[in-house]
Amino acid sequence: MISAKNASLLALSIVLIGAEAMAGDANFGQFTLTPAHKTTVSGSTDGSYDLSSIAQIDQKGNPCIGYASVNPDHMMILKEDLAQLKLEVDSNGQDTTLVVTGPDNIIRCDFGTNDTPDAVIEDTDWPSGEYKIWVGSIEPSQKWDYRLLAGGK
């Protein structure tokens, strides 16, 4: 017979396992990128998950802010290392944020400003592997359609 304490621990374990599995599914699918390939995918911002819970700052000291769904919006697969990669949100001028997690827990973040409201991450040294991408908004539960442009050099 299971004690009340063990039943509570079992229920909590099931919830945590479910949350981890849910966080692995991308809302708008997966795309593969190679050095010579550029692509555009689309989606919409939404959610009240605080992106700073993924990381407060990225590897370069940029703040990770905004709100999105718990699940990443996109999964990006890099088949090869990329010397340079640019991820750019186009939401027709809405205030967007980007959080990207990659191999070896590499985290990159950006957010729009008054001059350029859409988030852009342009960085070097992207190792091959799987990246989770969250496209968010500064305020929770704001729903905006966007295109995410991705291209390497």
Q: pLDDT tens digits for 7-35?
A: 333 333 333 333 333 445 899 999 999 88
CATH number of 26-152: 2.60.120.380
pLDDT of residue 128: 95
Measured between alpha carbons, how far is residue 31 from residues 66, 129, 139, 149 in Å?
23, 12, 27, 11
Residue 64's Cβ-side half-sphere holds a number of Cα atoms within 13 Å equal to 23
Q: Domain residues of the chain, as ranges?
A: 26-152
Mean pLDDT of 31-54: 94
pTM exceeds 0.85, yes or no: no
Specify whether the CB–CB gap between 10 and 2 falls below 8 A.
Answer: yes
pLDDT of residue 153: 63
pLDDT of residue 25: 87
pLDDT of residue 76: 97
